[in-house]
């Protein structure tokens, strides 16, 4: 089935049902109401298409006609520019740089933990769980400053944060240990229609 995706007229996303990086892209797609063919793959039995399209053979991978993109931030910014309404990045350079810096830190500090969990059947070792919880506690006050993360509008930063927060119970972090500003933020944003649409059945099961 090699390169079937490149012949499709509809945009195609190669995703994985429990992959946090894939989830953040699915949130962007749902937020912008983009028509897309989502192919949720088994990471232990990847289709030939994926290695043909992405030299790293990873998800998420997005195919838009003759263009193949990989890397969640590259994909997310492409979607935001290709479908500019609603905008998910600030317009002015200073605010945009601040958002990118926040995304960089989230990627380094939180997604590294998510990838460790995914490689271990969604279980997180005690040491990594402690590091993640301490990082969340240290950032709690930031969640209380504005309706969204450092912003008055929903942004790509929120799209990146939400998959991690959704997975906290699966990582072994109890609701009572989550700081109130983060718990309140989570409750509000998990209720967004786009977030609900972004969830796979497997992801819903993380909080069943």
Per-residue model confidence (pLDDT) at position 9: 58
Distances in Å between the alpha carbon of 48 and those of 7, 53, 70? 14, 9, 16
Q: Show which residues are catalytic.
A: 19
Per-residue model confidence (pLDDT) at position 135: 96
Task: State the SS3 of the chain.
Answer: CCCCHHHCCCEEEEECCCCHHHHHHHHHHHHCCCCEEEEECCCCCCCHHHHHHCCCCCCCEEEECCEEEECHHHHHHHHHHHCCCCCCCCCCHHHHHHHHHHHHHHHHHHHHHHHHHHCCCCCCCHHHHHHHHHHHHHHHHHHCCCCECCECCCCHHHHHHHHHHHCCCCCCCCHHHCCHHHHHHHHHHHCCHHHHHHCCHHHHHHHC
Per-residue model confidence (pLDDT) at position 8: 53
Per-residue model confidence (pLDDT) at position 64: 96
How many residues are present in the chain?
A: 208
Grouped pLDDT means (10 residues each) for the chain, 208 residues: 49 97 98 96 92 96 96 98 96 95 96 95 94 96 95 97 98 96 98 98 93
Distance CA(150)–CA(199), nearest Å, equals 24
Contact 50, 61 (CB under 8 A): yes
Per-residue model confidence (pLDDT) at position 10: 83
Closest Cα partner for 60 from 78, 80, 41? 41
Distance CA(24)–CA(123), nearest Å, equals 20
Question: In what side-by-side order are the strands of the sheet with 11-15?
Answer: 36-40, 11-15, 61-64, 67-70
Distance CA(13)–CA(149), nearest Å, equals 26
Contact 162, 207 (CB under 8 A): no
Cα of 146 vs its chain's centroid, Å: 21
pLDDT tens digits, 139-174 = 999 999 999 999 999 999 999 999 999 999 999 999
Per-residue model confidence (pLDDT) at position 5: 45
The phi, psi pair for 63, rounded to 5°, reads: -120, 120
Predicted model pTM: 0.94
């Amino acid at each position: 089935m090699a390169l079937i995706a490149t012949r499709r007229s509809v945009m195609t996303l190669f995703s994985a049902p429990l992959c946090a990086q894939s989830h953040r892209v699915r949130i962007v797609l749902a937020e912008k109401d983009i028509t897309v063919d989502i192919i949720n793959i088994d990471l232990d039995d990847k289709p030939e298409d994926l290695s043909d399209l992405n030299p790293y053979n990873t998800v998420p991978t997005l195919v838009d006609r003759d263009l193949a993109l990989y890397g969640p931030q590259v994909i997310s910014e492409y979607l935001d520019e290709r479908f500019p309404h609603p905008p998910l990045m600030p317009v002015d350079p200073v605010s945009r740089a601040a958002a990118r810096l926040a995304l960089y830190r989230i990627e380094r500090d939180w997604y590294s933990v998510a990838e460790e969990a995914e490689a271990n059947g969604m279980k997180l070792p005690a040491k990594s769980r402690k590091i993640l919880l301490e990082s969340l506690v240290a950032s709690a006050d930031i969640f209380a400053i504005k309706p969204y993360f450092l912003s008055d509008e929903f942004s790509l930063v929120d799209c990146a944060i939400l998959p991690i927060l959704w997975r906290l119970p699966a990582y072994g972090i109890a609701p009572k240990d989550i700081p109130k500003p983060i718990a309140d933020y989570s409750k509000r944003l998990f209720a967004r229609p786009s977030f609900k649409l972004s969830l796979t059945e497997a992801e819903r099961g993380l909080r069943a």
